[in-house]
Structure 1
Amino acid sequence: MALPVRTDFKHLLRLIQKFNSPRRVLSAGACTESKKPAGGGRIFSGIQPTGVPHLGNYLGALENWVALQNQYPSVLYSIVDLHSITQPQDPAQLRSNILDMAASLLACGIDPEKAILFQQSQVSEHAELSWILSCLTSMPRLRHLPQWKMKSKQKNEGSVGLYTYPVLQAADILLYKSTHVPVGEDQVQHLELAQDLARIFNKSYGDLFPEPSALLSSIRKVKSLRDPYTKMSKSDPQSMATIAITDSPDDIALKVRRAVTDFSSEVTFDPETRPGVSNLLTIHAAMAMISVEEAVAQARGLDTGAYKTLVTEAVIQRFTPIREEIERLRSDPVHLEGVLAQGTLRARELAAPVLREVRQRVGFCS
């Protein structure tokens, strides 16, 4: 049963400090059997604190997260700030981004009574399990992951953290004995690493971790409004390419109006030959909660310019209440910190006994 959210942040911090104390971790029952997850499975997913999410994040992940919290008995969503520092971060900006992400998730519908929402770095078991799993992972296994190949080229080989962050992702998942992980197609190989490490650990030390299954989103990838051959991204240098969930109605209207289409004015869905128009149809259908076929039917008789008005209206209608709620939550950072602190307590209640069992099996304690 979820605890009621408290805004007494100092009280929650004292509880976290007590829970994190060495005496608590190394108490007499430190290596006892961990609790089994509730029947029906356990969901884990994480999102980096890189500012407020955009339209692609919302449709590709967050909308699905809200649905999953009503479908599974045990759900954890983490703001994965340990992952974010694989690239240089300004400390003050990072802290602001963490709270912005918390506000965004709550505004989009994540309910702390149904899902455990927490900040990854505040649960130290993630980092310790990552180290243990790193010692079970070969360097060739990591070198062949596609994202390392891509990002290391961009960053002239990159950092050790960038190289090993898929192991931390695996630790994030396995630490809670997660059974299901919502992922996009580009993350499937990283989930396969988590499955491999579960098998390797279980073979070496006895069955402990379930092999997590992927939950692939049925939402099509949202493409850049300026280059419909690439997916929408916060890092896109073109400001007109991405719609943030906090964009004003005027900003949304301008970005959709300037979205790249083609020389044909008819609205048809053909992702291969008409990616720009097809991207608008995908966005319209998803935001209006209709099928692509219905979106095409609504566009009948309209040219692409007029159709963009329908797309704009659908996006504004969905994002206006979310934007307003984010603004309200941003004005109360103590509440946001309290929600994350409470989530940390609940996450550690699940993580600590699992890591104690890992320590026992590895040989760190008897």
Structure 2
Amino acid sequence: MNPAGRSFLTKRLATITRIQPFRTCQSVSARYLTTPSTPAPKKDHKSTSKPKEKPIIFSGIQPTGNPHLGNYLGAVSNWVQLQEQAHIDQETLLFSIVDLHAITMPQDPSKLREDRRNMAITLLACGIDPKKVVLFEQSKVSGHAELAWILNCLTPVGWLARMTQWKSKLGVTKGAQSLEDVSATQGLQLGLFAYPVLMAADILLYRATKIPVGEDQIQHLELARDIATTFNKTVRKPYFPLPRPIITETKRVMSLRDPTNKMSKSDPSDQTRINLIDSPSLISTKIKRAVTDPIRGISYSRADRPALANLIEIYAGMKKVSIDEVVKMHEGDSNAAFKEALTGVIVEALGPIQEEMRRLEGESGYVEGVLADGAKKAGEIARPNLEMAHKLMGLR
């Protein structure tokens, strides 16, 4: 592939997977949905070919910091919905606590150990069912790192230089397209720079075909497809399937203090986010201090009232109602009255989750057992795939 003639977000996501209760985003489907250049082969009822493999779905979440409403509404609640549909469709669903990704930025070892355990507890408390999904820690399956090295050897530096992840982490200007455009790269470590290759390895290790992503993560999945294509061309065999996105209705929850920035664990002010472990009184304090605007009444407009729109979206997500319903219920309220109602909604929704988290904190043996069992199952899926990758590259 000629990188100069290649656009990141064009052409090749030939099929956008639609799985209820998720939807295909209109803007994404317009960009990526293409008509196949060749007709589908006719069915041969006399064929003795092997039955088609069941789809494998993979997704991961980093274990750094306390999970907050942004994590819950943006990822975890979608995972819970997806596991129910995947269970009905008898698809294999792997959810990974991606601790290898976490160390692309400096971490305190003891804190990382605690965060990994807390993330597992949070996922289980939010409804992830180990009987329906494979839940495991990324570092416990060595194939992730092994395959990442193979893929690193095939991935052009230019592709990685255009990725957004390392730039956003280091505060590099969006206009930078290559390492030469960056005035100072001293703080850029190889692990952070090659982060997307490890992400591709996470997917390809299981030959996963469906990846739940938000629209802002399409770039990374496109790169994973490029890397898979490069591997297949290198070994002259279509071994890795090209993963397709399941576009989720991701809630982009913004900071309570600055609606132009996402709610984040890394923000130095705890007042910017609602952590899933926050007490009712702390939730009330944070919501009261959340920025709004001087306009009277409750109305929704991301453009004109971004701070209030963020609170309305949080209300809708936690209450599981539409934005229009929220506005209709509270259109005559003052900002203060609406904040009080929002506090009640959040406290009510988080109550059962917090109760289950407290229970699981006393069941360390159970949590460790779930993760160990998940790592074993994930390893069993990964092992033959990695072995074949080794053989195709001449390493076996």
Q: Do the structures match in fold with TM over 0.5?
A: yes
Give 1:15's aligned residue. Answer: none
Q: How does 1:75-224 map to 2 (within 5 A)?
A: 75-153=93-171, 156-205=186-235, 206-224=237-255
Q: Which consecutive unaligned segments of at least 5 residues does structure 2 have?
A: 1-49, 173-184
Give 2:24's aligned residue. Answer: none
Which range is displaced more, 338-347 or 322-331?
322-331
Separation in 1 of the partners of 2:116 and 2:395? 34
- The letter of the residue matching 1:253 is S
Separation in 1 of the partners of 2:210 and 2:334? 43
- The letter of the residue matching 1:361 is L
Give 1:18's aligned residue. Answer: none
Give 1:288's aligned residue. Answer: 319
Query: How far 1:199 sits from its partner (Å)?
Result: 1.0
Give 1:341's aligned residue. Answer: 372
Separation in 2 of the partners of 1:330 and 1:85? 24
Query: How far 1:86 sits from its partner (Å)?
Result: 1.1
- The letter of the residue matching 1:324 is E
> Is 1:239 aligned with 2:257?
no
Give 1:4's aligned residue. Answer: none
- The letter of the residue matching 2:209 is T
Q: 1:183 to 1:99 in 2, by over 3 A?
A: same
Query: How far 1:50 sits from its partner (Å)?
Result: 0.8
Separation in 2 of the partners of 1:131 and 1:317? 46
Separation in 2 of the partners of 1:230 and 1:136? 35
Separation in 1 of the partners of 2:73 and 2:51? 32
Instruction: State whether residues 57 and 94 of structure 2, in contact with CA within 8 Å, keep that contact through their aligned partners in structure 1.
Output: yes
Give 1:10's aligned residue. Answer: none
Instruction: State whether residues 214 and 250 of structure 2, in contact with CA within 8 Å, keep that contact through their aligned partners in structure 1.
Output: no
**Higher RCO structure (Cα 8 Å, ≥6 apart):** 1
- Root-mean-square deviation (CA), in Å? 1.5
Which range is displaced more, 213-222 or 345-354?
213-222
Instruction: State whether residues 142 and 148 of structure 1, in contact with CA within 8 Å, keep that contact through their aligned partners in structure 2.
Output: no
Instruction: State whether residues 222 and 283 of structure 1, in contact with CA within 8 Å, keep that contact through their aligned partners in structure 2.
Output: yes
Which range is displaced more, 293-302 or 176-185?
176-185
Query: How far 1:156 sits from its partner (Å)?
Result: 4.4
> Is 1:56 aligned with 2:70?
yes
- The letter of the residue matching 1:312 is T
Separation in 1 of the partners of 2:187 and 2:51? 41
Query: How far 1:125 sits from its partner (Å)?
Result: 0.4
> Is 1:273 aligned with 2:304?
yes
Q: Which consecutive unaligned segments of at least 5 residues does structure 1 have?
A: 1-34
Query: How far 1:204 sits from its partner (Å)?
Result: 1.8
Give 1:252's aligned residue. Answer: 283
Query: How far 1:58 sits from its partner (Å)?
Result: 0.4
Match of 1:309 among 324, 340, 344: 340
How many residue pairs get aligned? The number is 330
Q: 1:343 to 1:91 in 2, by over 3 A?
A: same
Give 1:25's aligned residue. Answer: none
What SS does the corresponding residue of 2:331 show, helix, strand or coil? coil
Q: 1:219 to 1:88 in 2, by over 3 A?
A: closer
Query: How far 1:150 sits from its partner (Å)?
Result: 2.4
Query: How far 1:37 sits from its partner (Å)?
Result: 8.0
Identical positions, percent: 49
Give 1:71's aligned residue. Answer: 85
What SS does the corresponding residue of 1:188 show, helix, strand or coil? helix
Superposition TM-score, scaled by structure 1 size:
0.87
Superposition TM-score, scaled by structure 2 size:
0.81
Separation in 1 of the partners of 2:195 and 2:366? 30
Instruction: State whether residues 195 and 211 of structure 1, in contact with CA within 8 Å, keep that contact through their aligned partners in structure 2.
Output: yes
Q: 1:282 to 1:232 in 2, by over 3 A?
A: same
